[in-house]
Structure 1
Amino acid sequence: MKQKIGIVAILVALIVLLYAFKSGVFNSAKDDYIGMVLPNKVDYNFHIKPILSDNCYTCHGPDANKRKAGFRLDVAEDAHSELPENPGRFPIVPGKPGKSAIYEHIISDDPDMLMPPPDSKLALNSYEKKLIKKWIEQGGKFEKHWAFKTPEKSKVPNTINIEWPQNEIDGFILAKLEDRNLAPSPKAGTETLIRRISLDLTGLPPKRKVVDDLIKNPSDKLLEKVIDEFLASPEYGERMTQAWLDLARYADSHGYQDDSYRSMWPWRDWVIHAFNENLPYDEFLTWQLAGDMLPNATKEQILATGFNRNHPITQEGGVIQEEYRTNYVLDRTNTLGKGILGITLECARCHDHKYDAISQKDYFSLFSFFNQVDEKGLQMDAVQAANQKFYADPPYITISDKETEDVLSFVKLEKGKQINVMVMNDSAPKTTFILNRGEYDQPTDSVLPGTPETIYPFPEGLPQNRLGLAQWVTDKKNPLTARVFVNRIWGMVFGRGLVETAEDFGVQGSLPTHPELLDWLAVDFMEHDWDIKYLLKKIMLSATYQQRSELTPELKKTDPENKLLARAPRFRMSGEMIRDYILASSGILNREIGGPSVKPYQPPGLWEETNAGGNRGILTTYVPDEGDKLYRRSLYTFWKRTLPPASMTIFDAPTRDFCEVRRQKTNTPLQALALQNDVQVLEAARVLAQTVIGEKENTREMVDETFRSILIRKPSVDELELLETYYTNAWADFDADKQSAEKLVVQGNYPVAKTDPVKTAALMLTAQVIYNLDETITKE
């Protein structure tokens, strides 16, 4: 009987579903677009272009090879011209949607006439059709892509609430909130705010004294002083460098099958030095793109060009050298596009870009700037003398007057020995050809070095080499460079850029949530001489940045992704920051700046699994370092491309085989297991417990001190009581099993202090619980 009832229920459900599909119930939300109201003024860039790009550009876009019916919808001239295959008809007739061919096609009931065609699996909803109709009624005007317009500094909006804004940023944010009848969140508490600032500027938790001083004397002036102190600390350069390494695809190995050792860490040290010295961003880019071409180039400027050498390099025998040489040049070109210009240039390698107005000729014209380099490179002999750090005084680097070794060879990292660092060195001019389908062995027409006209024409008088390219990139009229960088900084601080697709400012990229603010920040940044520290301080002194992160029911309903920033963001830290946070809060972090990469703890056998064999033996077996090298910042952890550090890849670190601007953010059980069982976490908990036991006497004081050491803030009464109970229960268990306690308190290589093993084990587990809290690994 039950089985029959079940079958009937299933049949009824299927009938209901079939009726729903036939009646369009499931399409109603899409068709009505959740009741959205048409804007008074339809904006081409923000309303129309995304529709055309998603649905029409595949057949009627920039790619001439895929274009159908002989016309395109991405440029006004074609869209307003007579259809080649249908004389007397026009795609768009300004003011007259009924006579416009595209509108006739998108509303047609005839499958043979409907656009996009049914077999494309694309379709416009009713709201999009109404938008296009209203746009045509208003003249059907085209505009240059928003990101390709030179940014302008618009007036800061007036707001009803005049008390809340603390600087110009708040005016733009608040105006949009008020448009939606939303109010900003209250200011975050002092402990939370200082922790937030410290994490953003140093990647480390703040020291207790900094927090206590501000609690005793809270003031905006003192807060500004704290920001200045963080910006002036050497840890600031490390924090900023960590964010740059993904983009620069830095690694300590060459990649590919052999994946043997390379010595690029002096370039990494230069980046730390550049950030700490607050090298203006335009110079920061120029040195990396073309430092060797500057007049009377210094050793630092030449070393900076290692940026262009960070790509994978094969050492395999029997490869076609020209094929791989071409791949290296392609990598530099793609990195320029994705990392610095925020454009998917690589899409134009094989054919004209399908969405952005970048042709294959444009791509290989940019390619030409990087195609002149001698791939064997120029050797740099870096001698790191004892007790001298690269970041401190001028770098102790000399340039070889001859190549003493092949650029792909490796040498030991030994004190006082020669270190070979790959840098740029253009050879005799090479002719660059457009490659059919992007294949190295299918050259077609030759091209000269140049840049896409649609982005910004290459000014007359600039040299047609990498130095000229760098000057084009950093020209204040270039619409992308400053926009892309301030957006990346915003994303670093807020977890999401004003343009979410930080790597793609093109037609298929996300639209900015606050376009006027993005442009204001870009222009302001350039007006202040590309000063990175100024930009960060401006953001952190805003009321927007200083809000609480609490998610209220109203905000969850109206803005669940926090795009409007009515509250501060809350997101998990990177794998590197989590490890550094644990080391610092436990007191075992080695704060030495710069130097060769180190090998902290790693599960045994991982490198052996990826070995191809015969790669000179240097990277076949992972041997962890000893002593304080185990506790260096994660920035210095040895990075093997075929198997990056496991503790970081678990938390979404990329392989660094190519430029990455934005890391994924996943939430997996493996992450929780790593935090519970990683020897580095257990060791840190043990050392912290032993330190606290040596300073505090009773249980409540020990638990309170452990909590504050990790989370910076004071625990609530409930939190303290809960953790105190946990400690007491753990103590009772270990007191009954002292052997387990003695086994636990020797985790890691850090010296074991002479403390009661039972008390230590109990407090160690209490610390581990706190380390595993969501609050600990989250920036809020």
Structure 2
Amino acid sequence: MRSLAPLCLLAMGIAHGAGMSIEEGKKLWSLIPPQFSSAQVTIDSLVAAKRAEQNLTPNGEADAASLVRRLYLDLTGLPPDRTDQTDIPALVDQLLASPHFGERWGRHWLDAARYADSNGRDRNIIFYHAWRYRDYVIASFNAGKPYDLFLREQIAGDLMPAKTQAQRDEQLTATAFLALGAKAYEEAKPEIFRMDVIDEQIETISRSVLGLSVACARCHDHKFDPIPTADYYALAGILRSTQPLYGYGPRGIKATAYHHTEWHALGASAESLAPAALDYFRRLDAETLTMHEARSSRYGISKRIPEMKRRLGTLSGAEKDQLAKEIAGMEAKVAEWNVKVTALEKSVEALQDAAPPQPAWTMGARDREKVENCRIHIRGETTNLGPPVPRGFLQVITLKDAAPPAQKQSGRLELAQWLTHRDNPLTARVYVNRVWQKLFGRALVTTVDDFGVNGAKPSHPELLDYLAIRFMDSGWSVKALIKEIVLSKTYRMSSAASSANLASDPDNIYLWRMSPRLVEAEVLRDSILALSGQLDPYPPQKQFLERFHPQKNAELSSFKPFVTPAAMVDTHRSVYLPVVRGSLPETFALFNFAAPERPVAQRDESILPAQSLYLMNNPWVIVQARHAAQRLLTAAKDDRARIVRLYELAFARQPTPAEKQRIQSFVADGKEDTWTTLCQTVMSSAEFRITP
């Protein structure tokens, strides 16, 4: 039936798109499994061969201070805490073993997973339990979890066997990947709501794992890539048979049952505590709805009274007396409703504070009771249905020993196995390309989430395949992949510019130097806190959002902005700040944080006046600069030692004689305010914002 689906579309009057056919698609470079025959090559030899073709002379190795700073920022997102480290292999091992590695590299994945702590859109529900997924991601990178297992857990962790309760909880938490997307709670039609959720899941899975825009085939065959509409609905059937667990949506008149789900209950007490807790949430939902209905009924009467009173002044005689009588009756009704509404409001408020003992909750996914194939939605319309499509995968990636979706399960487990199959041509390629981009600033395939027909061709195809195969051969070890790359001569090169090379290769496509890169928003914020001495390097014992009441502060709105950018003040690492859609911390909003509404493979880079103005004028930056000044004034007894220490903390290097002299003249008055200005100047400098 799968192969006949495009013919079915033609029979219904839907023209087959102009995209590449499946047979043609199998010849596309990215859809041919990676191949590499020689075992004698290295990263450096493959890069050198391409560079030689362009007659480019490579830079030498970066100086020790620059290399140490580069490694710290790339692997942990924090500035060096020591400047005397010369054993680079030992340093790399140390940084890969640091708990800060997972915080740094886990954040890269959270970009791709469109992680957020709220729904966003018109009904911005707070996801109070999303942080467990964030911590799962961080812990997975720190533990060296194989990337293929990491993916399988997120797609189908609830369907995988577990030996312990802890492993079970971890796998359930991983499936929050499928539940974190923004949802249109304002959508009144349940079938549209359901298919929109599925569409968002398909887009996230295909872009983050495969580097393909499969969601483009929702309404028609993909215009460019070899993805017929039938393939979209084959995947949609798997996700249609899956229940995402994101918790309660809006409570009120417009809320409906399909907006609400449960969560996964975790821990040894899950079975004993969850039933009563879920009953409580259902009761709270029902009583809140009753309260809102009462308010609505009262408003239906009270909104008419002002106009009736206005008319009263234009009447006389019996008409006026009659209208006055009606108004009095309506005011009496409103008074009765006031009593009812007040009682209901007090009851709901009391109930909000009367939650029973709760298990640990996590967002996630599980199979629905009914497993079903999805019918093709002609032109994407839920009311114009074509033939059903058996659940399955992309036809252009045919794997001989890949199991089809199970009959009595959703098929997510088989989808996870298909995605991580050794012969899947995209999964390893896409990920090693992203790792390369994070470490060099430019990916081998510059369209990082588009490996399709319109995507860029790889600048170094042999290197891309070499890295993909090495990655899989190492057991899909992210740490082993990163270690091989950062110990290469290619990574360790100086970032110095060469006029001759710049003329022929201004974008450094052929890697004749290490391109300087702007640090991300989190690295900038964390570096400022580290310089000021205020950074708490440990994970928070209490989550930021725990300061709010989960029942009373369930939804963020313009008239009740209880989580504001100004309120997001914390000394823990930036990865632990809440990502509230529509209300990001100011540093995030200004310095190109990944938009949490969609999967992001590569962040934008910009240098804008607003960024400089923030560093010059923001009260938080000034406070941190004063802390840094006080730190320097108490840490050393003379200005020379203070200046040296400032440069070590900020730039991981010694100041030049000219810098020493200039700064000594500037701080000669010895005032704290002067040192504060100096520290703020350093925090605002280009060198502080760049990975060398």
Q: Provide the residue aligned with 1:271 in structure 2.
A: 137
Return the structure number with greater relative CO, CA threshold 8 A, min gap 6: 2
1:692 aligns with 2:692: no
1:329 aligns with 2:198: yes
- TM-score if structure 1 supplies the norm length? 0.70
Q: Name the CA distance, whole Å, in 2 between partners of 1:362 and 1:75.
A: 11
Matches within 5 A, 1:246-645: 246-263=111-128, 264-296=130-162, 298-316=168-186, 319-375=188-244, 376-381=260-265, 402=275, 403-404=278-279, 418-427=359-368, 428-457=370-399, 459=401, 461-464=403-406, 465-593=411-539, 597-598=543-544, 611-613=557-559, 617=560, 619=562, 624=567, 630-645=570-585
- Given candidates 36, 44, 53, the residue that maps to 1:170 is 44
Distance 1:398 1:273, change over 3 A: farther
Distance 1:176 1:647, change over 3 A: same
Q: 1:421, CA displacement in angstroms? A: 2.1
* Per-residue CA distance 1:501-544 (angstroms, 9 max, x = gap): 11000110111010000001001110110011000100011000
Q: Is the 8 A contact 1:692 1:702 kept in 2?
A: yes
Q: Is the 8 A contact 1:156 1:171 kept in 2?
A: no
Q: Name the CA distance, whole Å, in 2 between partners of 1:778 and 1:170.
A: 24
Q: Name the CA distance, whole Å, in 2 between partners of 1:73 and 1:281.
A: 30
Q: 1:612, CA displacement in angstroms? A: 4.6
Q: 1:723, CA displacement in angstroms? A: 2.3
Q: 1:202, CA displacement in angstroms? A: 0.5
Paired AA for residue 92 in structure 2 = I
Q: 1:467, CA displacement in angstroms? A: 0.3
Q: Is the 8 A contact 1:266 1:421 kept in 2?
A: yes
Q: 1:598, CA displacement in angstroms? A: 2.8
1:666 aligns with 2:578: no
SS at match of 2:629: helix
* Per-residue CA distance 1:169-225 (angstroms, 9 max, x = gap): 0010011111222121110111111111111111101112xx21x2xxx4xxx2111
Q: Name the CA distance, whole Å, in 1 between partners of 2:614 and 2:243.
A: 44
Paired AA for residue 257 in structure 1 = D
Aligned pair count?
578
Q: Name the CA distance, whole Å, in 2 between partners of 1:339 and 1:399.
A: 37
Paired AA for residue 68 in structure 2 = I
Distance 1:373 1:619, change over 3 A: farther
Q: 1:679, CA displacement in angstroms? A: 2.6
1:144 aligns with 2:16: no
Paired AA for residue 277 in structure 1 = A
Q: Name the CA distance, whole Å, in 1 between partners of 2:414 and 2:398.
A: 13
Greater shift after overlay, 290-299 or 347-356?
A: 290-299
* Per-residue CA distance 1:18-61 (angstroms, 9 max, x = gap): xxxxxxxxxxxxxxxxxxxxxxxxxxxxxxxxxxxxxxxxxxxx
Paired AA for residue 113 in structure 2 = A
Q: Is the 8 A contact 2:22 2:396 kept in 1?
A: no
Q: Is the 8 A contact 2:274 2:358 kept in 1?
A: no
Q: Provide the residue aligned with 1:56 in structure 2.
A: none
Q: Provide the residue aligned with 1:133 in structure 2.
A: none
Q: Name the CA distance, whole Å, in 2 between partners of 1:442 and 1:575.
A: 45
Matches within 5 A, 1:69-84: none
Q: Which has the higher helix share?
A: 2
- Given candidates 589, 593, 600, the residue that maps to 1:653 is 593
Q: Name the CA distance, whole Å, in 2 between partners of 1:763 and 1:487.
A: 43
Paired AA for residue 593 in structure 2 = A
SS at match of 2:363: strand
* Per-residue CA distance 1:221-246 (angstroms, 9 max, x = gap): x2111111111111111011111111
- TM-score if structure 2 supplies the norm length? 0.78
Distance 1:623 1:714, change over 3 A: closer
Q: Name the CA distance, whole Å, in 2 between partners of 1:611 and 1:703.
A: 47
Distance 1:471 1:404, change over 3 A: farther
Q: Name the CA distance, whole Å, in 1 between partners of 2:561 and 2:88.
A: 49
Q: 1:247, CA displacement in angstroms? A: 1.1
1:181 aligns with 2:64: no
Greater shift after overlay, 641-650 or 560-569?
A: 641-650
Paired AA for residue 146 in structure 1 = W
Distance 1:145 1:622, change over 3 A: closer
Q: Name the CA distance, whole Å, in 2 between partners of 1:636 and 1:415.
A: 28
Distance 1:777 1:415, change over 3 A: farther
Q: Provide the residue aligned with 2:249 in structure 1.
A: none
1:193 aligns with 2:67: yes
Q: Is the 8 A contact 2:270 2:360 kept in 1?
A: no
* Per-residue CA distance 1:299-337 (angstroms, 9 max, x = gap): 111111011111113444x72222111111111111111
Q: Is the 8 A contact 1:342 1:503 kept in 2?
A: yes
Q: Provide the residue aligned with 1:224 in structure 2.
A: 89
Q: Is the 8 A contact 2:114 2:596 kept in 1?
A: yes
What 5-or-longer segments of structure 1 have no aligned partner? 1-62, 78-141, 159-167, 384-394, 601-606, 732-757
Q: Is the 8 A contact 1:246 1:654 kept in 2?
A: yes
* Per-residue CA distance 1:253-300 (angstroms, 9 max, x = gap): 122212021121111111111111111000000000000001247111
Q: Name the CA distance, whole Å, in 1 between partners of 2:422 and 2:589.
A: 37
Q: 1:418, CA displacement in angstroms? A: 4.5
Q: Name the CA distance, whole Å, in 1 between partners of 2:545 and 2:263.
A: 26
Q: Name the CA distance, whole Å, in 1 between partners of 2:269 and 2:37.
A: 46
Paired AA for residue 479 in structure 1 = P
Distance 1:373 1:302, change over 3 A: same
Q: Name the CA distance, whole Å, in 1 between partners of 2:578 and 2:661.
A: 42
Q: Provide the residue aligned with 1:766 in structure 2.
A: 678
Q: Name the CA distance, whole Å, in 2 between partners of 1:186 and 1:761.
A: 42
- Given candidates 651, 654, 676, the residue that maps to 1:714 is 654
Distance 1:711 1:599, change over 3 A: farther
Q: Is the 8 A contact 1:377 1:422 kept in 2?
A: no
What 5-or-longer segments of structure 2 have no aligned partner? 1-13, 245-259, 289-351, 547-552
Matches within 5 A, 1:11-22: none
Q: Name the CA distance, whole Å, in 1 between partners of 2:135 and 2:395.
A: 36
Q: Name the CA distance, whole Å, in 2 between partners of 1:354 and 1:509.
A: 13
Q: 1:417, CA displacement in angstroms? A: 5.5
Q: 1:565, CA displacement in angstroms? A: 0.6
Q: Is the 8 A contact 1:380 1:399 kept in 2?
A: no
Q: Name the CA distance, whole Å, in 2 between partners of 1:619 and 1:332.
A: 29
Q: Name the CA distance, whole Å, in 1 between partners of 2:647 and 2:226.
A: 55
Q: Is the 8 A contact 1:173 1:564 kept in 2?
A: yes
* Per-residue CA distance 1:136-183 (angstroms, 9 max, x = gap): xxxxxx98000000101242687xxxxxxxxx1001001111122212
Q: Is the 8 A contact 2:76 2:104 kept in 1?
A: yes
Q: Is the 8 A contact 2:391 2:405 kept in 1?
A: no
